[in-house]
Amino acid sequence: MNTHERQVAPLSPEQMHQWENDGYLLLKGVIPESTINGVRDSFSCVVDGIIRQLKEDGIIEDEGVELPFETRLAQVAGEHANRFGRSWRNQVATFEIFDLHYAPLLVDAIGQLTGTDVIGHPVFNARPKLPGQQLTVVPWHQDSGYFGTVSETSLIPTVWIPLVPVDETNGCLQVVAGSHRLGVVDHHTEEREGKFLEVMDELIEDSRIVTCPMEVRDALVFHNLTLHRSLPHTTSEIVRWAIDIRYLRDGDHPGTIYWKDPDFKWVIHSETQHLTYFLEWREMW
Ligand SMILES: O=C(O)CCC(=O)C(=O)O
């Protein structure tokens, strides 16, 4: 299938109702396996680079080339992985990540949620969360906390996609159902190692917290105003690999994070607008 074609698989009235009421939606099995494998390959290249660097610096000896993607970064780099940041973007601005945004069932769902042509947003993050690592434990926040108050009226759906099965023991996400109706709330920088933005605990309504265990190929879609966090990774040597990507309702303001050319528009699906080529997208990094 051409990457710009899509099947039409509408969300059910119940799913639309859940999106409007709760500000999130768990879509089961919507990412093709081949697409997931492409994303893993992109991340694997970064892991290769990190491990090569640690070897050159004399920090490790064995590069663990025989180890699987799921465990290699934790087993070989361990705590030295912190040096390479809490998430990655430019390092993984590859065709495979571009292509992930075109997963047909996801594009259908986003088109239905926004009610417009499907437009991509410049923010995505590769998120390796290592066992026992504090740096990557993300506290309660709204993505609009990062995008500024201008995003209060914009719709910028986030799609969070794990590359390994996740649950409450290895860093799955939690959302606060209905919190997208709060508007943009105050955020401050946390004291902990990650230095992420966080909101005051008083804003979290315990009875509305939903824990989201997920399988590989699932996608969690949430509103840019929905409060969410990721839990600590307390088990096994498997890295909690995930990626979050974003879309934009056509015509809305993307918030305070722009493309290199602020007039650039990443058109993913449209009957009338020019569809963006990979090389046009790549030039914006
Ligand atoms: O992957 C994580 O640990 C956190 C993800 C997140 O907070 C986000 O995508 O906004």
Quickly tell me which residue has 């590359």 as its tokens: 163
From 130, 173, 199, 227, the mutation candidate for ligand 1 (largest count of ligand atoms within 8 A of CB) is 173
SS3 125: strand
Positive or negative torsion for Cα 142, 108, 90, 218: positive
pLDDT tens figures, 2-19: 444 444 558 999 999 999
Domain coordinates in residue numbering, the chain: 13-259
| DSSP bridge partners of 119 | 248, 267
pLDDT confidence of residue 257: 78
pLDDT tens figures, 57-84: 999 999 999 999 999 999 999 999 999 9
- For ligand 1, atom 9, which residue shows the shortest CA distance? 244
Beta strands in 94-231 (DSSP E): 118-120, 125-129, 158-162, 173-176, 188-189, 197-198, 209-212, 219-222, 228-230
- For ligand 1, atom 3, which residue shows the shortest CA distance? 230
Q: Which residues, 6+ apart, have CB-to-CB distance to 144 below 8 Å?
A: 151, 152, 156, 184, 224, 225, 255
Q: What is the pTM of this model?
A: 0.95
Q: Which residues, 6+ apart, have CB-to-CB distance to 16 below 8 Å?
A: 112
In degrees and rounded to multiples of 5, residue 168 shows phi and psi of -70, -10
Residue 269 and residue 118 in contact, taking contact as beta carbons nearer than 8 Å: yes
**Measured in angstroms, how far is the CA atom of residue 274 from the centroid of ligand 1?**
31
Q: Give the residue among 218, 244, 246 at the shortest CA–CA distance from 229.
A: 244
pLDDT confidence of residue 8: 54
**How many whole angstroms separate alpha carbon 282 and alpha carbon 285?**
6
**Section 36-43 average pLDDT:** 98
- For ligand 1, atom 10, which residue shows the shortest CA distance? 143
Query: What architecture does CATH give domain 13-259?
Result: Sandwich (2.60)
Percent of the chain with pLDDT over 90: 89
* Confidence category of residue 1, pLDDT binned at 50, 70, 90: very low
Which residues lie with the beta carbon below 6 Å from any ligand 1 atom? 127, 129, 138, 143, 158, 160, 228, 230, 242, 244
Quickly tell me which residue has 């893993």 as its tokens: 40
From the CA of 143, give the closest atom in ligand 1. Answer: 10
